[in-house]
Amino acid sequence: MTISIEQISQASLSFPTIKQQIPVTFRYNVHFTEHLFDLDNPLLAQVVAADNRLSPRGAIAIVDSGVVRHHPKLLEKIQLYADWYRDYLHLCNLPLVVTGGEVAKNEPKSVQSLHSLIDRVQLCRHSYILAIGGGAMLDMVGYAAATAHRGIRLIRIPTTVLGQNDSGIGVKNGINAFGKKNFIGTFAPPYAVINDSDFLTTLDERDWRSGVAEAIKVALIKDAEFFAYICTNVDAIVSRDKEVMRQIIYRCAQLHLDHIANSGDPFETGSSRPLDFGHWVAHRLEHLTDYRLRHGEAVAIGIALDSTYSYLARLLSYSQWQQILHTLKRLGFILFVPELINHDLNPARCLFQGLTQFREHLGGELTITVLEKIGKGIEIHEVDLTLYQQAIALLQELHRKGLVTKPLPEICT
């Protein structure tokens, strides 16, 4: 017996459609402090105690190996802190050290080992995972936390500039797979974020600089005055002025969090992701260089390329394009690597595969952000690959000639 579409439609009329809508509100605080694990700093204990439960909260601490290397007493301080505030916080296991950097996201066993630990110490959904480290390690731990028991409370404690102003304060977690950045992941807001500026003092030059790329990114698409502040304070940034960096981190975090809360699409259900200006290039370059480039270094190149494309497309003025490149260069970023060049003999190594992967990652049509002017990004859905190849050739030539050697007129206009 054959059933027609009409018969199915008529049968479905027997019951009205159930229309379900579930409004969900997420709230989390991003705190700023110094010397978080000193016994006279109660912030972490206060954050944990804010859920108003009476018994001590079970927790585990996961620490980036790079952080431990530069802060050799940190593990002891974490344990002493938990002992001191034992009425609020109970560490169920000694702090666990895990490999930091992009390796943490490239090795599937990293997540499996955390799931095993969570099971072994019997954490429940109302327990806490303290993740202390750089952005890549936080991504991995966040994914493990979001998928164990369908979500354990995560307190992120970013230890890099990039982690404190961008990746560590948002709602995304993930690991790499199939040669693609963040192919596996979740949208899961943290329970809280605590930025401790003391961790920044031991960063090497590359990690100190890398996080500024994300600040430049958000300034270029949202806040011309913020970009002007960065331009004015380039020398202070290079000389590692801690107060200037704290200001940059705070403003960048403000803009990032405002976009997540007020853009209307915090979990990226559409095809738009303006906060990823320059990132289709960056994610592809990280893979093509086998992660030799730090994320922020790849973002700087992505900003340079998309800004150059914007200039060649007659969207961005010459003076503003030059000022962007000049600022990146003064900060110490390299704006060209050989992997930018299209590898015709090996399509798998082609930079422009990044556009396809970016569209797949977002869903729907291709959507990338370019610049109309400093402080204003616009979205486009088609790109001219010939123009991008010209932009790459131009960056290569500027790199060969040493780019710009003296300040330009109309700085930060």
Whether 237 contacts 227, CB under 8 Å: no
Name all domains of the chain by residue range, CATH numbers in brackets. 29-202 (3.40.50.1970), 205-401 (1.20.1090.10)
Mean pLDDT of the chain: 91
pLDDT in tens, 134-182: 999 999 999 999 999 999 999 999 999 999 999 999 999 999 999 888 8
pLDDT in tens, 221-251: 999 999 999 999 999 999 999 999 999 999 9
Q: How far apart are the first and last CA of the chain?
A: 74
Q: Residue 149: exposed, middle, or buried by beta-carbon count in 10 A (0-12, 13-18, 19+)?
A: middle
pLDDT beyond 90 at 108: no
Nearest C-alpha neighbor of 192 from the set 36, 65, 23, 78: 36
* Most confident residue range from 55-59, 271-275, 343-347, 406-410: 55-59
* Residue 14, φ and ψ in degrees, nearest 5: -65, -25
User: How many residues are present in the chain?
Assistant: 413
% of the chain surpassing 90 pLDDT: 76
Neighbour-count burial of 346, counting CB atoms closer than 10 A to its CB (0-12 exposed, 13-18 middle, 19+ buried): exposed
- For residue 101, the model assigns a pLDDT of 87
The answer on pLDDT for 109 being more than 50 is: yes
Q: What is the dihedral of CA 392, 396, 402, 408, to 10 degrees?
A: -20
Whether residue 410 is predicted with pLDDT greater than 60 in this model: the reply is: no
d(CA 394, CA 145): 44
State the pLDDT at residue 7: 61
Whether the predicted pLDDT of 6 surpasses 70: no
Rounded CA gap, 289 and 74, in Å?
32
User: How many other C-beta atoms lie within 10 A of the C-beta of residue 239?
Assistant: 9
